[in-house]
Structure 1
Amino acid sequence: MTTHHDLLEAALARITTGYVFPEKTAAIDAAIRRRLDEGAYEDLDVRELCDRVTEDFQNVCPDKHLRLLWVEEPQSMDEEPEDVARARFARYAKRNNYGVRRVEQLDDNIGYLDLRMIAPADVGGPAIAAAMQLLAPTAALVIDLRQCRGGAPEGVQLWCSYFFPDDRVHLNDIYERATDSTRQYWTLGHLAAPRYLDRPVTVLTSDTTFSGGEELAYNLKALGRATLIGETTRGGAHPTDRIPVAPHVTVTVPAARSINPVTGANWEGVGVEPDLAVPAGDALKAGLEHLRTRLG
């Protein structure tokens, strides 16, 4: 049986070798070992241990992607091959209609897109194109990201591409520790549906909006393409590896970080601030009022 000590040793080893900020790993390691020595984890079951250790991670290093997670179904201790992980995520995306929950034409010819996740471009492309085709005749657009909890960088790239005229817009960079390399993300030259140009766009956000959903909002705001309305988002900007350390426990280790070419920064720990701050429940009403004013 895996002890708490063994489990944490495995998690700390993964953080030390994989975390995108290697200069912070010594402090994380020392803090968790100190808590172990103090007996802070002795009387906890494994689920409680995950919650407590995650809190301790956050206290020493407030990175919302750095977590110890309880997994309900027993998992293999073998690392999942990349192609298997991609296939698993593709199945998840399909079950959730590639993130597209609702596409609608509202009064005054305002389009509405309720987007719950950012699907990978290679599997979500047709659904994304279908949504944009339906929205093409509208005079303005609301993109509702209030319940969007993340997704794939290539999917963000695809969504963003629909709002710019060509392949010359630099959207984001992602630095990866494992390869010590930076990948640039630019708008795409070929799209399967019409681009949405020269019309106002508002993006609705909440404190639930996370990760890939935040990147979509951040990119459009930084490039001046959309007005953000709602709440400051949750604040997770680091692509993350999920690594099993026990049959029911996974450590999530941010292995890369976003670098926006406009701001030189990202939204990690601070979230994406709206241009117009309103409670999430009022954001759609405020967004529609904003667009109607723009449309005259």
Structure 2
Amino acid sequence: MTTPLTQLHPAPVIDETTRLLAEHYVFPEIAEQLAGLLQRRLAEGAYDSDSAEELARLVTADLQSINGDRHLRLKHHAVPVPDEQGAAALEAMRRDFDTSLGGAPRVQLLDGGVVVLEMAPMLFPLKWAAEPLSAALTLASRAQALIVDLRSNRGGDPDTVAFVCSYLLDERTHLNTMHWRGDERTEQSWSLPHVPGARFGGSKPLYVLTSDTTFSAAEELAYDLQQLGRAVVVGEPTRGGAHPCEGWTVHPNLEVTVPVGRALNPTSHTNWESTGVQPDIPCAAADALNRAHTLARARLAG
């Protein structure tokens, strides 16, 4: 059930959205352009729809129209969400976490000693996900080759990316650097020197499956491992969202998400924004598991 515009009033939503862009968006020049665009569109009556869901769709299209930043969104929530910053995303994540075995819904032994580990629908906050992911990765550590399936993963927590990488490498490794808006502060991400379980390690064959749904932190996991030469990426180019973002509730049913930083990989000196992670072995997402399994078996046989 949608919320009528007579109850939400689009002008305050647009005003608050432009304020948040001006204060927080990692690219201030783009924020200024977007603020002007949203206010012009409001004045033209472009947002005079009859539902909050439609308003979210229209504003999101305009937010992404200048530089294609897919983390810039006005998100609609059918159920009213709290006013606290990030509360909307947290509630939705918790529901997904509880119904996906903590983000590791599948660990399966395939022929030839190959294990597939699916991580979906997100890489949840590490304080939630450490236990289930550690259990899944420790179980998979016995495999001769490992396939990490990220085809249905839409993002999550960079700390969880580093946690997963720690099971797939032999030593502490620099993975990524975040540059934050407004100052010269940077934050490096490294794999961990110790993990609460058994490592798969850094030498056995590793494949990562991607699709055009794979997004954000899931893209970072694929990209980090690819740039390190640790994994072969199989499947489709990913969606292309490299900017960490935060969310603010601007109406009981609407949340604006704004990127507040940008990633810089220490190997490539760039990131996957807009371009997506390009697979080493391109194929349809539906065929990626069979393709990776065939590659793994051939490598083990060789």
TM-score w.r.t. the length of structure 1 is 0.93
Counterpart position of 2:261? 256
Q: Aligned pair 1:25/2:35, yes or no? A: no
Q: Aligned pair 1:102/2:106, yes or no? A: yes
Q: Which runs of 5+ in 1 are unaligned?
A: none
Counterpart position of 1:184? 188
Q: Aligned pair 1:142/2:142, yes or no? A: no
RMSD (Å) for aligned C-alpha atoms: 2.0
Distance 1:73 1:91 in 2: 13
Give matches, 1:20-59, under 5 Å: 20-59=26-65
Distance 2:284 2:74 in 1: 31
CA positional deviation for 1:213: 0.8
Counterpart position of 1:277? 282
Counterpart position of 1:73? 79
Count residues with an aligned counterpart.
293
Q: Which runs of 5+ in 2 are unaligned?
A: 1-6
CA positional deviation for 1:65: 0.5
User: Paired residue for 1:161, among 142, 166, 170?
Assistant: 166
Q: Is the 8 A contact 2:24 2:259 kept in 1?
A: yes
Counterpart position of 1:209? 214
Give matches, 1:224-263, under 5 Å: 224-263=229-268
Counterpart position of 1:111? 115
Q: Is the 8 A contact 2:8 2:52 kept in 1?
A: no
Q: Is the 8 A contact 1:90 1:120 kept in 2?
A: no
Q: Aligned pair 1:194/2:198, yes or no? A: yes
Q: Is the 8 A contact 2:86 2:246 kept in 1?
A: no
Distance 1:191 1:163 in 2: 11
Distance 2:83 2:137 in 1: 41
CA positional deviation for 1:179: 5.8
**Amino acid corresponding to residue 268 of structure 2 in structure 1:** T
Distance 1:264 1:118 in 2: 24
**Amino acid corresponding to residue 101 of structure 2 in structure 1:** N
SS at match of 1:243: strand
**Amino acid corresponding to residue 164 of structure 2 in structure 1:** W
SS at match of 2:277: coil
Distance 2:190 2:154 in 1: 22
User: Paired residue for 1:218, among 207, 217, 223?
Assistant: 223
User: Which range moved further: 94-103 or 61-70?
Assistant: 94-103
**Amino acid corresponding to residue 55 of structure 2 in structure 1:** L
Q: Aligned pair 1:171/2:175, yes or no? A: yes
SS at match of 1:282: helix
CA positional deviation for 1:183: 0.8
SS at match of 2:133: helix
SS at match of 2:112: helix
Distance 1:9 1:163 in 2: 46
Aligned-pair identity (%): 38
Counterpart position of 1:292? 297
TM-score w.r.t. the length of structure 2 is 0.91
Distance 1:259 1:211 in 2: 13
Distance 1:264 1:9 in 2: 36
